[in-house]
Amino acid sequence: MAIAQLIAGNWKMFKGPAQARSFVAALADATVEQAESLDIVVCPPAVSLAAAVDGAGASRTQIFGQNVHWAESGAFTGEVSGSMLRELGVSGAIVGHSERRQLFGETDETTAARMVAARGVGLQVIACVGELEAEREAGETERVLERQVGAIAEAADGLEGLVVAYEPIWAIGTGRTATLEQAQEAHAVIKRLLPVPVLYGGSVKPDNAAELLALPDVDGALVGGASLDVDSFAAVCTAGARAA
Ligand code: PEP
């Protein structure tokens, strides 16, 4: 039976408005095998969201933010609210990415609060979880996932439009990926805690996407580095279409 796949590109702090606009237009022209059950998302930096929405036009690419604040408005310098994203035509947001957790003090609580606020204004959400290398080596992966996913599950009011991304931190931007066994095991744990689609993230590339996406509990990929180039991102999307 075909299952839906979601391929999301996280551009991090790359691509200003002009590059974002031309990327999404080129992606619409790139050869991505058609599959009804494939969703494609790109997550540009905040300043490039409007250009990306405009460039995507009526194509199948949806535009998500990389973060969203829990308040509607207020004295929160540097933050952006869900309704502001909606006003731009943005369809969803990432919350709790490991770079936010590690570099900017994001916690399970703030991640959950961001998720609740985003869903409250009708945005879809990709909530990121994943263990440090030391935690995996100490045999604590399941405990860490239970804590992180538990915070999301407890706060979530319904599951519609909610996706979790399993991103082992030691695999992000390192060229290392979880083994197929490690990925499948972690995804199964997450789905037991929260029955929503679960994306794998951590050095997904055209040459490893197919085998990861074929795993029974992998419903797509969150792609960093390989999403910055149209051809490599289109190749990962094609792998998603074939797995769907
Ligand atoms: C990410 O930023 O979410 C990510 C998975 O990055 P990369 O694919 O580069 O490891």
For the chain, domain boundaries: 6-243
Phi, psi (degrees; rounded to nearest 5) at 61: -75, 125
CATH number of 6-243: 3.20.20.70
Question: Residue of the nearest CA to atom 4 in ligand 1?
Answer: 224
Question: Residue of the nearest CA to atom 7 in ligand 1?
Answer: 224
Residue 3: per-residue pLDDT: 59
Tokens, residue 93: 């947001």
d(CA 232, CA 207): 9
Residue 1: per-residue pLDDT: 36
Summarised one tens digit per residue, pLDDT across range 167-188 is 999 999 898 999 999 999 999 9
Q: How far is the CA of 210 from the centre of ligand 1 (A)?
A: 16
d(CA 25, CA 28): 5
Q: How far is the CA of 140 from the centre of ligand 1 (A)?
A: 22
Per-position b or e across 175-208, b if 16+ CB within 10 A of its CB: eebbeeebbbbbbebbbebbebbbbbbbbbbbeb
Residue 123: per-residue pLDDT: 98
pTM for the structure as a whole: 0.96
Residue 19: per-residue pLDDT: 98
Residue 31: per-residue pLDDT: 74
Mutate to test the pocket of ligand 1, among 64, 218, 222, 227 (most ligand atoms within 8 A of CB): 222
User: In 165-205, which residue ranges form alpha helices assigned H by DSSP?
Assistant: 180-193
Beta-carbon contacts of 15 under 8 Å, excluding residues fewer than 6 positions away, are: 23, 44, 45, 48, 228
Q: Which parts of the chain have pLDDT scores under 70?
A: 1-3
For the chain, the straight-line distance linking the first and the last C-alpha, in angstroms and rounded, comes to 9
Residue 30: per-residue pLDDT: 86
Handedness of CA 93, 96, 101, 107 (dihedral sign): positive
